[in-house]
Amino acid sequence: MASLISTLARIAFGPPPELVCRRDVWQTGVVELRRRTHGRREAGAFLLGRHGKRREIVEFVFYDDVDPKALATGMVEIDGRRLGALWTHCRAAGLTVVADVHVHPLGYGQSESDQANPIIAEVGHIAVILPNFAAKATIPGGIGVHQYLGNRRWRDRSRERPNPFHVGWWPK
């Protein structure tokens, strides 16, 4: 109930979120991320959706499904030659990569590797980081929300109120 009240208040008085995801889609994807970590390694996914008034996440495509060796070193490394299948899937489904998500063992801040190697090096791209291998905090307010500014520069939007990322119902 509190979530609905806060959503309605934001609709009435606050700026709309820039990135949204239905709660069931988010929870299903996060549970799968947590499973893929085996409680000891990073995991991640491309977040596919549509651009409209805002970016809407409708599907997770996991890094190790795109590149089976993506998680082999303990950190995310995707062979660019493996991305063709992802782009083919996006075209066929009428979707695009609207953000990405990955997990860290502890906090949700970006590592030097995250900052130097964006998964999608497009200005405005949003990278979400879930702490504790996605075992605890998994919704905005307790997760990292980082926006790419270009030239390996990022803006940490994790603590912005209201958060640019909203999980739950939002009007179209």
- pLDDT tens sequence across 69-80: 998 887 788 999
| pLDDT given at position 3 | 59
Six-digit token string for 63? 């890094």
Is 60 inside any structural domain? yes
pLDDT, average across residues 131-146:
93
What is the overall mean pLDDT for the chain?
91
Residue 60 to residues 2, 44, 80, 100: CA-CA distances in angstroms? Answer: 27, 9, 18, 9
CATH of the domain at 134: 3.40.140.10
| pLDDT given at position 2 | 47
Q: pLDDT tens across 22-59, in order?
A: 999 999 999 999 999 988 889 999 999 998 888 999 99
d(CA 27, CA 30): 5
Is 1 inside any structural domain? no
Closest CA to 22 of 52, 43, 47, 44: 47
d(CA 56, CA 147): 16
Looking at the structure of the chain, the number of domains it has is: 1
Can you give 64-98 as a three-state secondary structure string?
A: HHHCCCCCCCCCCCCCHHHCHHHHHHHHHHCCEEE
**What does the DSSP assignment read for 95-144?**
-EEEEEEEE-SS-SSPPHHHHHS-SS--TT-EEEEESGGGTS--STTSSE
Residue 161 to residues 14, 18, 36, 58, 124: CA-CA distances in angstroms? Answer: 9, 13, 31, 24, 18
Q: What sign results for the dihedral spanned by CA atoms 122, 128, 129, 133?
A: negative
pLDDT, average across residues 81-101:
96
> What is the pTM (predicted TM-score) of this model?
0.92
- Could you list the residue range(s) of the whole structural domain that residue 78 is in? 17-167
